[in-house]
Each structure stands twice: as structure tokens, then as C-alpha cells.
Amino acid sequence: MEWIEMPVPQATNTEPTLNIVSNEDDVLLNEVKEIIDEIEAKKIDITSDYVEWRNLGFAFSFTFGEAGRVLFQRISKFYAEYDEAECNDQFDKCLKAKGQGISLKTFFYHAQKAGVKNRTSTKANVEIQQGVPTLPISVFTELPDFLQRVIKPNTSSEERDLLLLGSLVTLSACMPKVFGIYDGRKVFANLFLFVTAQASAGKGRLSHCRQLVEPIHKAFREQTKLRKQEYETALKAFNSKKGKDEGAEKPARIPEKMLFIPANNSSTGAYQLLSDSDGKGLIFETEGDTLAQAFKSEHGNYSDGFRKAFHHETISYYRRTDKEYVEIENPCLSAMLSGTPEQVSALIPSAENGLFSRFIFYTINIKSEWKDVFAKNTNQDLDAYFDGLGAEYFGLYKSLQSTTSMRFDFTYAQEQQFNTFFKEKQAQYISLQGIDIASIVRRSGLISFRIALILTVLRIMETGDLSTELECNNQDFKTALDIAEVLLKHSDKVYTQMPKKEKFNKSKNIRQQFLDVLPKTFDRNQYVETAEKLSINPKTAEGYIKKFVEANLLDHPKHNYYINLKKVDEVETKS
């Protein structure tokens, strides 16, 4: 991202003037001032949390430069421990940081959350209501030819995004023998995607992505059918020899090999089907409730298996019928789900749940206009069109299946750029949302690596090159990072809407309870307020805090700002 540094005039005792470059900017400044007028009239403090206060400084400094200083002072003065010099010092730091990518939307959001309504309802309200971005057009101009044809039948930017993301996920389940090394571990192409939108918002296009790999599923089922016929013949022969041939062995059960693993399943049933399919499969459900209901049933919660499969960690289960302990080594599971925002939280109870960070999230923006249901981007019906693409991909799948293992790698320069990109993203999102979001950014790195791998494999359809070493070209590398940047914004939006769970254990002593309920970051007002809820005297709480700092349970990097290291460790463990 290219930062634009605003001009910084000398500070004065009077309100500085902004170097207005357009009437639109003038309108925006006036709207912000009107909102602050209402904040002042109602004496509302929207800066009590340090991170939120700092981010508001970023928003004002990035948007208005030095002219934002007075605005920052005005919203800060209702904080109980407001200090003008400290406020100026913080704004100086924000100016030097050049915004950290935080826009004025942060201010609009906190004002609206505090019950302050913008009276003019023009540009400020537009910014609050605007949805998350779609993928930039640059992503689509240099895609592999096969994906160019996959996205061709779109009638909107959202449909184009869905066709691309949905195809990447479904194809990720069908790239045998192709791997990469990421953070010292062998990883495969598999991805998890949850498309969230209100009913009738346009998720239906995803069903066509299933057709891209349908021939593979049908081939598996046909193989199973033939093997079952052979089994029935062998079983009939075994039964005819009963009591006559003591050496006769009963034929083994035929595995139910398939690509599409039904989400409506018990945990043992899902694991058994995955095991029968050599540890590889795809869960494709257009209603997120199907999987959520399975997770809620007594024997149906295989969320743990999802989390392990994302990193190809061994899944173990006990098959009661055969009294057999089974281990699935290096599971390669992909998942394509869609549903309403409510279905996300039904499937994943909270943002702290480790399953959340393993998913790509894509939110479809709500549109009020009527869609042209007769728009035609191809000369044939879409089912026939995607069936043809599926048959074409089946050819590549068979080639990959018959070849030796293929390793995918970035170039050294790409590795350096990749690390820089995600280091910056991690710092940006932690500053905005706190340490909890770190696992989402980190797994986005792995997801983008897998996307680059998929793009590189699809180039084989153009070149025919089945070399054992695959190197990412610069265009596919850039495409993967461009996709990751947008998807992080979508995940961030879903993350902010997820419930946050508070853990409280009455059996623990009062000091331990106090530490457990302290947030990740906090100031004195917050810890005193927390202490009062537990009937702890403020002075006693102050003593506890000092002890926690001495014991390295809390970090105290600056005045009136604490970091709960226990909570940070919990995040690291979950990730």
C-alpha cells in the first residue's frame, strides 16, 4: 500500500486550517466536526480504551494531517485521566506512523457505537455503510487460462469473486502429489472457505464450482461400485466354503471412496469416509446450518478434526463396530461452505475458537437493485458450460495422479517480499483489533501460499510441464498477495461481528479470577472497574497488578497501559 503523507503546518493555539483540495474534503471535515459537536454536547468518552484511542489518532492524522490534532484533543478530553500534553505526544507518534492503514471509518464506527448519529448523513454515513471491497480487477487479468474461463459467466464483481474463490477451494481438494514447504512443514493445497451473506444475496453461483470436480467424485464412486461387485462375488464364494475349507478368509470390507464427504454426519462417520478416501476429501455445503447442526449433535462434533486437517495433523478415532482404532495420517481436507452471518456463529461459537482463523471468509455486499436474471455471458446453459470445464480439469487430475511428487516453491525474492507483506499486515491488524487477530493474519499467510501453489499447478494445463519442481512466477505471486489483502478485510469484518467469550471459574481464588477476566490490554480505569465487579477494593487491585507485573504475568510497557501476557500465551497456544 502506498502511503500519502499530508502536509504538516506549524501547530498554533488556534484551530489549524486544513489544506482543502476539493469541496468533498471540506464536506468530510465539516461532518466530522458535527459529530464531535454532538460528542461534546453529550460529554461522551469514546477513548477510554488505549488501543481505540490510538487508532482514532491514526485515523485523524492520516486523513487530516496536523489539522487532525485539534479534533483528536476534542474527543479525548472526556477521558477521566485526560492530559493535553500526553494527547499531543500521542498524536505526534500517529503523524510519524502515517496512519498504519487506519481510515476515518474507525472514528465513524466508534461514534455510531456510542449512539452519536451524523446529522448530515452524507459522505460519513456512506463510509460507515459501505461494504467490504471486492477483489481488484488486476487479480483477474493475469489468471491462468482455465480460471479465466471459470469466471467468464459472471454478471457482477461479487459473482466473479465467488467463482474464483469457490473454484480455488474445490480444486484445492484435487491436486494430488503437489506440496510445498511452509514454516518447515510439508503442506498441500487444501483450503477452507465460508461465504457469508443474507438469504438470496447471490451465493448460488458457488454450486457451479462443484461441477469442476464432479468427474473426480464420479470416478471414485464408479471404482467403489466395481470393487463392491467383486466383493459380493468373493463373499458368495467364501460363504459357499463355510465349514468345508478352514483356510478360507472372509473378504475385507470395501472402502466407501468418494470426494464429496457429507457434512450431515457423525464424527466417526465423517472420519471413516475420509479414511476410506485415503485421507482426502471435500465438504461442499451451500447451507452452513447443515454442518453446524452436525456439530451440535451428541456424536457429530468433528470441529477438532477440521482444525487438525488444516495443518495435515493426524486424526485418530475408534470404530466401535469393528473394534478398531484408526489413524488418518496427513489428512487433506478442503471445505466450501456458505450461509448467513448467523450460521457462521452457529458453526464457530466465537472468534477465539481456533477453527475461525483456518477459514477464508468472504462477505457478499447487500445490494438493493434487481439482478438481470436473463443476462447471458455464454452461448450455452451454465450447467453444460461447467460440466465441460470439469471434464477438462479431470484430465489434469489424472496426469497429476500418475506422476511423481511435485514440490512448489517461491523464489528467494518472493520469500522476502512475502515476509515483509505479512509482517506489516500483522502489525496493522493487531493495532486495530488487538493480539487475538494475530492467528488470523498468520494463517492468511499459509492460505496465500496455498493459493499461489494452486495458480502455479493450473499453469500446467497451458504448458504441459510436469516437472518435479514448480516455481511460482511473479504474476501468480502478486495475485495471491492481492487476494490475501482483500480477504483479510473480509475476515476482519466477520471477526468484529463474532461473539467474544468471557471465561470465569468460581473455583479459583480471587486473585486468579481477577487475572483471568482482565482483557488482553487495559488501563487503570479498566482494571479498577473489573476489580469492582469481583468486589475487590481498588487499592487491593492495585497491589495485585504490581504483583502480576513483577511475576511477568503482565507487561507494563508505558504509563497507564498493561498487556495481559497470560491471554497472549493462550492466543499463541490456540494458533
Judge whether 165 lies within some domain.
no
181 Cβ contact list (under 8 Å, min separation 6): 187, 407, 409
Domain termination site, one of 80, 114, 129: 129
Judge whether 92 lies within some domain.
yes
Mean pLDDT across 19-44: 73
Q: What is the pLDDT of residues 423-476, one digit of tens each?
A: 989 987 886 677 888 899 999 999 999 999 999 999 999 999 999 999 999 999
Nearest to 268 by CA among 286, 288, 294: 294
How would residue 242 be classed by pLDDT, with cut points 50, 70 and 90? confident
Q: How many helices (H) and strands (E) does the chain have?
A: 24, 13
Domain termination site, one of 129, 158, 184: 129
How would residue 311 be classed by pLDDT, with cut points 50, 70 and 90? very high
Residue 25 has pLDDT above 60, yes or no: no
Give the predicted TM-score (pTM) of the model: 0.67
Grid look-up 448467523 returns: 342
Residue 259 has pLDDT above 50, yes or no: yes
Q: Using a CB cutoff of 8 Å and minimum separation of 24, what contacts does 377-383 make?
A: 377/152, 377/153, 377/154, 377/155, 378/152, 378/153, 382/153, 382/208, 383/208, 383/211
pLDDT for 20 equals 33
Judge whether 341 lies within some domain.
no
The secondary structure element, H or E, covering residue 407 is strand 406-409
Q: What is the pLDDT of residues 47-74, one digit of tens each?
A: 887 777 888 888 888 888 888 899 999 9
- Per the structure, the count of domains in the chain is 2
Grid coordinates belonging to 446: 499459509
pLDDT for 417 equals 97
Domain termination site, one of 86, 110, 129: 129
pLDDT for 119 equals 47
Residue 107 has pLDDT above 80, yes or no: yes
Judge whether 9 lies within some domain.
no
Do the Cβ atoms of 28 and 35 come closer than 8 Å?
no
Residue 15 has pLDDT above 50, yes or no: no
Mean pLDDT across 464-492: 95
E strands of 64-196, at which residues? 178-182, 185-187, 192-196
480 Cβ contact list (under 8 Å, min separation 6): 448, 449, 451, 452, 455
Do the Cβ atoms of 291 and 347 come closer than 8 Å?
yes
Judge whether 97 lies within some domain.
yes
312 Cβ contact list (under 8 Å, min separation 6): 185, 186, 187, 188, 330, 331, 332
- Residue 283's region, left for phi above 0, alpha for psi from -120 to 50, else beta, is beta
Lowest mean pLDDT across 122-136, 200-214, 415-429: 122-136
How would residue 100 be classed by pLDDT, with cut points 50, 70 and 90? low
Do the Cβ atoms of 558 and 547 come closer than 8 Å?
no
CA–CA dist 334, 70 (Å, integer): 51
Judge whether 462 lies within some domain.
no
CA–CA dist 234, 462 (Å, integer): 45
Q: What is the pLDDT of residues 500-529, one digit of tens each?
A: 654 444 345 688 788 888 988 999 989 998
Grid coordinates belonging to 572: 499463541
- CATH code of the domain containing 518: 1.10.10.10
Mean pLDDT across 97-104: 64
- Structural domain including 98 reads 23-129
Residue 124 has pLDDT above 50, yes or no: no
Residue predicted with more confidence, 117 or 207: 207
3-state helix, strand and coil shares in percent for the chain, rounded to the nearest 5: 55, 10, 35
Q: What is the pLDDT of residues 361-390, one digit of tens each?
A: 999 876 656 666 666 554 568 999 999 999
pLDDT for 503 equals 43
Rounded mean pLDDT of the chain? 83
pLDDT for 367 equals 60
Judge whether 217 lies within some domain.
no
Do the Cβ atoms of 168 and 451 come closer than 8 Å?
yes
Judge whether 551 lies within some domain.
yes
